[in-house]
Amino acid sequence: MNLRFKKALKSLKSEKGASAIEFAFLAPIFLMMIVAMMELGIMMVIQNSLDAAAREASRLGITGSGTLNAAEREEAIRDRVIEVVQNLSGGIAKPENIVISISAYDELENLAQPEPFEDGNDNDLYDVGEVYTDVNGNGSYDEDQGLSDSFGLSGQAVDYRITYNWDSIVSLMGIAETVTLEGRVAVMNEEF
Ligand SMILES: [Ca+2]
Ligand SMILES: [Ca+2]
Question: Which residue in 131, 149, 151 sits closest to 141, CA to CA?
Answer: 131
- The continuous run of DSSP H or E covering 27 comes out as helix 15-61
Residues with CB under 5 A from ligand 1 (ion): 119, 121, 123, 125, 127
- Cα(141)–Cα(7) distance, integer angstroms: 79
Whole-structure pTM over 0.85, yes or no? no
Residues with CB under 5 A from ligand 2 (ion): 134, 136, 138, 142
Q: How far does residue 89's CA lie from ligand 2's centre (Å)?
A: 36
Bridge partners, 163 (sequence order): 99, 182
- Cα(113)–Cα(182) distance, integer angstroms: 19
- The continuous run of DSSP H or E covering 79 comes out as helix 70-88
Domain ranges across the chain: 3-188
Q: What is the pLDDT along the chain (192 residues), one digit of tens a residue?
A: 577 777 766 766 666 777 888 888 888 888 888 888 998 999 999 999 999 999 999 999 998 766 777 788 888 999 999 999 999 999 999 999 999 999 999 999 999 999 999 999 999 999 999 999 999 999 999 999 999 988 888 999 999 999 999 988 776 556 668 889 999 999 999 988
Q: How far does residue 147's CA lie from ligand 1's centre (Å)?
A: 23
Q: How far does residue 42's CA lie from ligand 2's centre (Å)?
A: 38
